[in-house]
Structure 1
Amino acid sequence: MDITLRSTLPGHQNPIFCVEKGYDANTFFTGGNDKGVVEWDVESNAFKRILCAVSSSVYALRLIQGTPILAIALREGKLLFVNVQEQKLVASTQLSTKAIFALAHMPWKNELLAAGEEGTLYVIDLSIYKSIYEKRISPTTIRAIAVDEALGQIALGDKDGKVYTLDCTDFQPIADVQLHSMPATSLAFVNNKLLSGGRDAQLVISDPNQLTSNFSFVPHLFTVYGIYPHPKAPIFATVSRDKSLKFWSADDFALLKNMSREKMQDGHHLSVNAGVWSEDGKYFFSVSDDKLVKVWECHL
């Protein structure tokens, strides 16, 4: 594989915390410590519009698959649902008074999962945009959620470094194990394994049924903020507080590409907070504390 930097997009005035693919193939969204969610155009390598204003920092974005609805999680514990085609707010749900840090979509159940500072899992029915079930998972902050339909599992990671797995059907616990010595900050299911990244700079590969660690390694110098499986190819990306993003083989965890400032002048120069693949896997979008968005083109 080969990865090249297609463009660097300025415009945000503050650190960017999250990024999500667009409803249209050539667009994507970003949010952070600014007062709005921004839509970008890949074809023109430019700012497209401010999708909507927000009243506090945006910590997570999730496009509801098969719909033009974008879910926006805010520091004030609120979830906004915006129709991106009509540029219209369709619902606003106050889940908590504390920050919502993570969102995951279960399209087969038409439900959205949300979790954050309170350690509570919220299940939102997307036909009514309301929470239909709440379950306290952790005594502390939850930073990451991942779901896998084939395995029928939800994984959550908390500030104590514990990872929890639940059954997708009834949200009953399967396992909870301390996998990290510091906060668990990222999760992803890859090849029937659960990958978890932490502030301890470890990437732990586990059996999701028992959460027994198969092995772990150090992919970055600092916190692993995101793990992103490619939509089609057996590769995944990681992003980190060490200012780098890296691309790995999902088969043997070999490092394929290291996009850091040490390796290339045009890399991010502050913490890389999040990333996302385009729907077709041609592009990877990364966002950073440096207030810049980077578009990476992937050649497989």
Structure 2
Amino acid sequence: MQVHKVDTFAGHRDCVYTLDAGTSPTEFFSAGADGLVVRWQLDKPDLGTLLARIPASVYALAFEPERAQLWVGQNYDGIHVIDPVQKQEVRSAQITSAAIFDIKFFEGSAWVALSDGVVAVMDTDEFAVRKHLKVSEKSARCIAINPISREVAVGYSDHGIRIFDAGELTLKQTIPAHSNSVFTVQYSPDGRYLLSAGRDAHLKVWDVADRYTEQQDIPAHLFAINHICYSPDGALFATCSMDKSIKVWDAGSFRLLKVIDRARHAGHGTSVNKLLWSSFHQQLVSASDDRLISVWELTR
């Protein structure tokens, strides 16, 4: 596998924590510790458009395709929704005074992971909370949705993963998954596996059909794993870590294929926090504490 660094997007003034895709394969959004919410185009490098200035760190962004609106988890001030075209706020809801770590959409609902252990399920039409799911005193850190099994996996700082029924909004299963906080969960595109990782630097693979039996336990990085992301064709996935590296894996065999780092590929100089794999030339986008967003092309 060959790795080519296509570009570096600069402009953030502090750590970049989160990324999400927009309406087209070339469009994506970023936010982080500086409170700036920025729109970028992969085919127009480094020409970012400032959409909002948030007076707090932003850990969670989620683009809602139906309305073409961007949900921003403003820490300690709830949810703010931005129209990226008009560059203005269209809705806001003070649903919490806690930090917001993740937002995911499924069938008219937004699942919001909060630092007080609550998962708030919002009705996107009514823009109101349908239910508060509280099954831990520790932070809810990350969310993944399996549309095939209609299940929602939530990773927590108490080292566990909870599986919820997406329709009934009920707890189905608790998995004592890791030896430290779970920072990222991701279902495989075919819905067969749940991947999880976090502060213990281990990548774990769970068999969904077999009641989430552990299939693999891979010591994947040196330090905390911050995010897992699948390629658009589902053949690969990538992990990124506090150890400053990005690793690319075969999705079928879970075999390590490539390490992207500073020494070999002019990679990031500090923690890599978030990944986004675009269908535009299969480009992999990474965001880091070094304030930079890097774009990579991988060829096999």
Structure 1 segments unaligned to the other structure (5+ residues): none
Q: How many Å apart are 1:279 and its aligned residue? A: 4.4
Structure 2 segments unaligned to the other structure (5+ residues): none
Deviations 1:167-207 (A, max 9, x none): 11112111102110111111001141111102011111112
Deviations 1:19-53 (A, max 9, x none): 11122332211100113201122112113210112
Give the equivalent residue in structure 2 for 1:115.
Answer: 113
Give the equivalent residue in structure 1 for 2:249.
Answer: 248
Question: Matched residues in 2 for 1:233 and 1:168: separation?
Answer: 23
Give the equivalent residue in structure 1 for 2:283.
Answer: 283
Q: Is the 8 A contact 2:230 2:237 kept in 1?
A: yes
Give the equivalent residue in structure 2 for 1:63.
Answer: 63
TM-score of the pair, normalised by structure 1 = 0.94
Opposite residue 247 of structure 1, the aligned amino acid is V
Q: Report SS of the residue matched to 2:44.
A: coil
TM-score of the pair, normalised by structure 2 = 0.94
Q: Report SS of the residue matched to 2:25.
A: coil
Q: Is the 8 A contact 1:98 1:116 kept in 2?
A: yes
Q: How many Å apart are 1:273 and its aligned residue? A: 0.6
Q: Is the 8 A contact 1:281 1:298 kept in 2?
A: no
Q: Is the 8 A contact 2:152 2:164 kept in 1?
A: yes
Give the CA RMSD over aligned residues. Answer: 1.5
CA shift in 2, pair 1:135/1:103, >3 Å: same
Q: Is the 8 A contact 2:136 2:158 kept in 1?
A: no
Q: Is the 8 A contact 2:159 2:176 kept in 1?
A: yes
Give the equivalent residue in structure 1 for 2:158.
Answer: 160
User: What is the aligned counterpart of 2:124 among 100, 123, 126?
Assistant: 126
Q: % of aligned pairs identical? A: 28
Opposite residue 239 of structure 1, the aligned amino acid is C
Question: Matched residues in 2 for 1:77 and 1:158: separation?
Answer: 21
Opposite residue 286 of structure 1, the aligned amino acid is S
Q: How many Å apart are 1:103 and its aligned residue? A: 1.1
Q: Report SS of the residue matched to 2:264.
A: coil
Q: Is the 8 A contact 2:232 2:282 kept in 1?
A: no
Give the equivalent residue in structure 2 for 1:188.
Answer: 186
Q: Is the 8 A contact 2:12 2:36 kept in 1?
A: no
Q: Is the 8 A contact 1:11 1:47 kept in 2?
A: no
Q: Report SS of the residue matched to 1:263.
A: helix
Give the equivalent residue in structure 1 for 2:35.
Answer: 35
Question: Matched residues in 2 for 1:35 and 1:105: separation?
Answer: 22
Q: Is the 8 A contact 1:231 1:280 kept in 2?
A: no
Opposite residue 81 of structure 1, the aligned amino acid is V
Question: Matched residues in 2 for 1:281 and 1:45: separation?
Answer: 14
Q: Is the 8 A contact 1:160 1:182 kept in 2?
A: yes
Question: Matched residues in 2 for 1:47 and 1:137: separation?
Answer: 43
Give the equivalent residue in structure 1 for 2:170.
Answer: 172
Q: Is the 8 A contact 2:197 2:204 kept in 1?
A: yes
Alignment of 1:14-33 (within 5 A): 14-33=14-33
Q: Is the 8 A contact 2:236 2:249 kept in 1?
A: yes
Give the equivalent residue in structure 2 for 1:231.
Answer: 232
CA shift in 2, pair 1:11/1:164, >3 Å: same
Question: Matched residues in 1 for 2:296 and 2:260: separation?
Answer: 10
Question: Matched residues in 2 for 1:3 and 1:39: separation?
Answer: 25
Q: Report SS of the residue matched to 1:97.
A: coil
Q: Is the 8 A contact 1:77 1:100 kept in 2?
A: no
Question: Matched residues in 2 for 1:169 and 1:35: separation?
Answer: 34
Deviations 1:228-261 (A, max 9, x none): 1112231111111000111111100111221012
Opposite residue 71 of structure 1, the aligned amino acid is W
Give the equivalent residue in structure 2 for 1:204.
Answer: 204
Q: Is the 8 A contact 1:228 1:237 kept in 2?
A: yes
Q: How many Å apart are 1:95 and its aligned residue? A: 1.5
Deviations 1:104-128 (A, max 9, x none): 111xx21111012011111111112
